[in-house]
Structure 1
Amino acid sequence: MADPLVALACGLSAAFLFLLLFGLSVYLLWRKRRTQTLYRGLIPTTPTIPRCTAPVLQTSQSSSYGSGDVPFVVPPQFKRTSQLNEGKEGREYAEEWELHPDLHTQRGSLTVGSWFPLGSIRPDLYQLPEEPSEWALPSGSAVRLWFALRYQQEREQLVVSLLRAANLPVWCQSNATLVKLQLLPSDDRRHRQAKARRKGCHPQFNDTFVFQVSNSCVDQCSLNMSMYTVDQKKHHLLGQVLIPLRHSELKEAAGEVQWRDLDNESDQPLSKNGDIQVSLNYNQSLHRLTVVVLRARGLQCSSDAGVCAQVSLKIHTQVVRNKWTTVAKGNNPSFNERLTFRLLPMQLDTACLTLQLQQPSTAEPVSLGIVVIGPFMYARGRELEHWNDMVSKPQELVRQWHPLGSADTVQGPQ
């Protein structure tokens, strides 16, 4: 009983398979014929190519475009002709050429081997565009610096492209120009240096530098760029730019050209003992107070004397920690050093910073000046304002100049 059913099933399967193959073959044959018919209607079997009756003409190289309209001549239309009237049209074209002998002068002046007309060059199309607004020179005596910043998040790298500077003083025209770049605050005390490719009041750099910065520390860093002019191996500071880094701003203006005018406080009056420039930052979550000693000016010492800065953290009247910078020479020394202290948030109202410039020696160090920066318990005026700005701006390095007082005038908390 099972054998007839198996035979019936096999027969039905074979019949279905046959019908399926037959239908597929018919469909493929129909599609092939339809495609051939379609292409036969689109592409002619015997294409006709019009014969170019106009000969290649030797052109004049003296014609040029003026300020008027560009001359344009429509060539004679090509007609599909047979070999019977070919000679007749050739004679007609020769007659037309005799009647209009200046036809060749209305073609292009640029030729290859003087026989292949290619058209004339329009000089106005090859003029360089005017400099964009970001390249505009600054007004007055300010020195401007152009650069571009780009942060590669996947590599944790800050790419700084130093482009050019402008409006340097006239006395810098014959001197070399240097720019020192440093990331602050940073444990790496080394700086990167770029030298201008040419001298003058508008030097160009076109250098690129890479700083390794983790994603979590970008918002806490600032880029410091100081410009110097070199006269007989002596470096004269022209000014500097301090750029606080923001992750969101770096992402929006990735690679765009930016400019800053150099910060030059030479027009401000100096104090009797000189001034010191300091940047402060307090990270409440890490309980970290960061002090960046940048530079000093107008010190009452010889230019060859070594100078260092002693930074002391005091709570009430007790000195908690003392730290020193490296020794720098000159009466306008540049330190650019970062010092950190541990400070709890509850101690902000009872702590202060004492910065003292000294000349280290084998005997007792010589004090050149001192300043106290802190809350209302210790400081007033500019020093109090600097401390309050540090507390209210936890994401910034707050920078400010402070006049130095005599060591005997500052004796602990006020």
Structure 2
Amino acid sequence: MVDEVSPTEWWQSRPPLDHKKASTVTIVACSITGVVLLLILVYLVYRVYKKRCAHQAPYEKIYGRGAGGKEHTTVDMDRKNVPQLTVNSRNVQAFVLPSTPPKKTRQFDRPVVSPRMEGTSGALGVPIYPDSGSDSSSPPSRRSSTEGPQNSMFSLGAIDPDLYKATQDDSETNFPEDHLGRVWFALEYQREAERLLVSLIKIKNLPSRTPGSSNACDPFVKIFLLPDERRFVQSKFKRKTTNPKFDESFVFQVSYKALQTRTLRLTVYDVDRHKKHRTLGNVLYPFKDFDYDDGQKIVMWKDLEEKSIMETSDLGEVQFSLTYNNHLERLTVVVLRARGIKKLAGMPAVDTCARVTLMNSNHVLKTKKTNVVTNSSDPLYNESFNFKLSPTQLDTSSLSVAILQVTPGDEGSERQVGRVVVGPFMYARGKELEHWTEMVNNQKDMVKRWHALTQ
């Protein structure tokens, strides 16, 4: 037989409970119960809200008074209080849609100006049409393109090509054969300020280094106020063009009295691939012919000339060539000829010779003379001289070529007519500086120039 155990004995004989586990189970059970109750509460609230929204009418009655004093109401769709409208057939008029006209292609008449319409326009630029039996503010009816143009008017958007014919200037297109170029420039003299304004505008039809090409030329211009060739102004370089546009202005400070004895010279150069300056031509303008009003700007053009044609110096001119060989360290001077040499007072005849002097830092290195040419105002010398000169001395050396008149039979009696000094920037300007610079840049080449004699 199984012994029966009383509940009291069983409770006393059971193992002790774990209080920590019991508390955890209790907390979990309470949390689950609370979440379930919260969900039920949310569901009930949602059902009540949905039921109330379902019974609410979509339109409410709005009371108010309009402009006529009548009370405005809205239709309650739930109660179906829709008033019945009656239509009086007597007040109804038939409405017929107009027939659509066929599409027509717009035709523009050829624009022709009527004699009565030329030069007439309103205050705002709107054309004023002549009277044609109708309202003057309305334009005349459009004419067919088959009708004559005698009385036709301008069509909308049409342009009269006769009004836009560009007039061509013959000076920009008519060039003679073997043309060297044409220069446009402007002159303005301000007498109170004693200032001469020279504006270089443009050049047309310059010769190209490559025949048939219009971009094988890199020109620039030097502007002189002769007889002073040591001072000049220079324009900007223009790349790859035979028709450069400059639009540059330069100022010379000169009095009006001195201006009458000056000559403007514009010399155009081309810079080749080797950075050498090649002279294209010159333009001369003597100011003794300058007719102007104070402050008036005069625009003119002149053709380039290969040689600078101007009056020779009162003392005459001399022509010589320079050649430098850097390997041999040798400077060769060839005195070719002179011209315009006048007889000095007290001299029986024009018997001349040329004296060549090489100087370094104002110290005479060597002097040589040509043979005497008797009784000639344009003597021909054609003699060559060599000087020893190192490349390091090129920037500190200068060369003087002087023309002397001698007395026949009286040895040592010489009188200097004039001289020319060529050299670097330290000693020379203008053509004399250019002659020396061209010799240095073109070594082993003979560089020949004419120079005016000075005291």
Q: TM-score, normalised by structure 1?
A: 0.45
Largest Rg, 1 or 2: 2
Q: TM-score, normalised by structure 2?
A: 0.42
Q: Which has the bigger relative contact order, CA under 8 A and spacing at least 6?
A: 1
